Amino acid sequence: MGPIGVFDSGLGGLTVLRALLRRLPAEDFVYFGDTARVPYGTKGARTVREFARQDAAFLQGLGVKMIVVACNTAAAFALETLQAQFPLPVLGVIEPGVSAALARTRGGRIGVIGTSGTIRSGRYQEALAAAVGAPRVVARECPLLVPLAEEGLTNHPLTEMAIAHYLLPLRQAGVDTLILGCTHYPLLKPAISRFMEPETVLVDSAEELAESAARRLGELGLQRPASAAAAPASRLEFWLSDVPWQFAEIGARFLGRPIEAARQVNLDEVEQAGRLVRHGRERA
Ligand code: DGL
């Protein structure tokens, strides 16, 4: 009955934690943000896979009962590897986002936006194309949107310009459903909504993931018991591999509430946790 472990390349995954807290208020959570090595979205598959393994191993060492990969890029490159390597349920954001988009599309085209890594991995496109056919899927990498969201420029002309630049081809292609395939994009939802046609449905993968985490906990009988749920506050713990300058401000914006305290862990500890998992598997 440990906490649920949630990790991301940095602070963006706090939007996923926010959705998880809303959906599972009685659960305990431990969040790890790899702020020393963010961004993952510009890095190659091997690097991201290795970082993700270390992040998950660090959380496993803290005694979590489930691991949520709250980073689209890490989920795109590493989800299956993590599921094979860890003896815990490991959930990612891609599959829930794809299912929600397929359930909501009205037969038009489906768009997906994300980091360069997420889009170049082709994971969203493959899953969507298998259901609706490749010509009905339009994908676009939007690298500038992550820093704009972090800077808090959610309703700024710079962001409006970047959104227009990236999303025009999707609007022109007539997408009726758009997957926000990056942890930072929920903050840009109003600006994205204003740019797209009014009837375009935006799929927030954070909310969809929270739904599937709740389902999975139920199926596995891993929910925190009702007596524990009646206890005053669930435990919320934050670990970071670096504390960025604007941590408190950005963190609160992403999580939707202030973060009381965050602990810092040295990268060599995170790397060491990853090595232990690898060696453990080699011995097994
Ligand atoms: N968390 C990443 C994602 O959802 C965005 C930030 C990054 O590039 O690391 O893909």
Confidence of residue 108 (pLDDT cuts 50, 70, 90): confident
**Residues in contact with ligand 1 (CB, 6 Å cut-off):** 8-10, 12, 38-41, 71-73, 114-115, 118, 146, 182-184
In order of start, what are the domains of the chain with their CATH numbers? 4-93+207-283 (3.40.50.1860), 95-205 (3.40.50.1860)
Cβ–Cβ < 8 Å for 13, 27: no
The closest residue, in CA terms, to atom 2 on ligand 1 is 71
Confidence of residue 26 (pLDDT cuts 50, 70, 90): very high
Angle, CA 10 vertex, CA 91 and CA 144 arms, to 5°: 105
Q: How far is the CA of 186 from the centre of ligand 1 (A)?
A: 12
- Between CA 179 and CA 183 the distance in angstroms is 11
User: Average per-residue pLDDT in the chain?
Assistant: 93
3-state helix, strand, coil in the chain (%, to 5): 55, 15, 30
Mean local confidence (pLDDT), 75-84:
97
Instruction: State the DSSP string of 241-283.
Output: SS--TTHHHHHHHHHSS-----EE--HHHHHHHHHHHHHHHHH
Q: Is pLDDT at 199 greater than 60 in this prediction?
A: yes
Given the residues 21, 38, 59, 71, select the one marked as catalytic. 71
Confidence of residue 1 (pLDDT cuts 50, 70, 90): confident
Angle, CA 209 vertex, CA 237 and CA 188 arms, to 5°: 85
Tell me if residue 142 is catalytic.
no
Which tens digit of pLDDT belongs to each residue from 110-153? 999 999 999 999 999 999 999 999 999 999 999 999 999 988 99
Euclidean distance between the first and final Cα of the chain, in Å?
26
pTM summary value: 0.94
Cβ–Cβ < 8 Å for 167, 195: yes
